[in-house]
Amino acid sequence: MKTWGFGIIGTGSIADFHAAAIKELERGKLVAVANRTEERAKAFAQKEDCGYFTDYKEMLASPDIDIVCITTSSGSHASIGLDVLNAGKHLIVEKPVAMNTKQSLELIRAAKQNGVTMSVISQRRFEAQHVAVRNALDSGALGKLLLVEVSLPFYRAQSYYDSAEWRGTIEQDGGALMNQGIHSIDLLLWFGGIVDTVYGKTATQTHQMEAEDMGLALLTFKNGAFGTIMASTSIQPGFAAAMNLYGEKGSIKLEGSAISHWTVPGMEPPDLGGNTNYGGVSDPRSISHVNHRVQMDNVIDAIESGKELYLKGIDGLRAVQLVEAIYESSAKGEPIKLEEVSE
């Protein structure tokens, strides 16, 4: 059995979750991390018992590195990701895949041209309650989907945005939609399908920052269903992310990582437990690394045997494309029709 060598670029808080997930892989080992600041790189490497680099390009030259995780600021994902793919390394990139559709497409095409695998982190798809919802939709038990509602009434103090120069900037981070909301937007697309049109409004209401701390959207899916999105980091004291799905035959309500209501004909409500405060209500670290590990295992399966990736580059692109369209709609004051994008 081959042990795949992992490298992590970036040593911020999300890198801890990647390192914890890699530790639990039977077929993976953390070989090295990279950070421009030697003190940070060295401290992370000592904690995780691995090597370190201050230049990630030197790490990419190492034959011991097979798979690279990018955990840096969102605005750097595209440029670093291209370097990873062009070095012939497989790529696991944190959300969002990039800051716009053009950058996302460049990454997808680079992966294809270099014959390597690329996966975008969206670990919430693997949570039991979301798998149960997808199964209910796929079985037809909910009937025709009518409406999907997403709500993220989160809270972030001003100190969160002041903690790094890039936080809350449009080019490097994004706001409540692109940063905090991107996982729920991915789930919305996984459940609802391809979006046809969107009307959006964004505002910065309570923070000193460039990007939005409030985003609203009304969607029409190509299958005729509707969708709504509310994402904020201004809601005191912060409440759980929620998602409601209404079909012709039944309804499902999700709160945090728990199913709060289940009316699905012919399907008993799954006994999954769950935590209504899970997922970064007011603390961005209140998540688990377990489903990062599940996704990493799937990436290794795809590399070794050609198994289909659970999360492809196109999945990450579609979430970014929708947020981009919401921004455009808000700026123009009119609905935006999304272009069809394929790999």
Quick: pLDDT tens for 206-259: 999 999 999 999 999 999 999 999 999 999 999 999 999 999 999 999 999 899
The answer to whether the CB of 342 falls within 8 A of the CB of 150 is no
Residue 89 · residue 65 · CB < 8 Å? yes
Q: What is the pLDDT of residues 257-307, one digit of tens each?
A: 899 999 999 999 887 766 655 555 655 555 679 999 999 999 999 999 999
Spell out the domains of the chain, with CATH numbers in brackets.
4-120+290-311 (3.40.50.720), 124-280+318-337 (3.30.360.10)
Residue 39's CB is within 10 A of a number of other CB atoms, namely 9
**Per-residue confidence (pLDDT) for residue 257, from 0 to 100:** 85
The pLDDT score that the predictor gives to residue 276 is: 56
In this predicted structure, what is the pLDDT of residue 100? 97
Nearest CA to 233 out of 173, 302, 318 is that of 173
User: Among 129, 128, 114, which Cα is nearest to 83's?
Assistant: 114
pTM beyond cutoff 0.85: yes
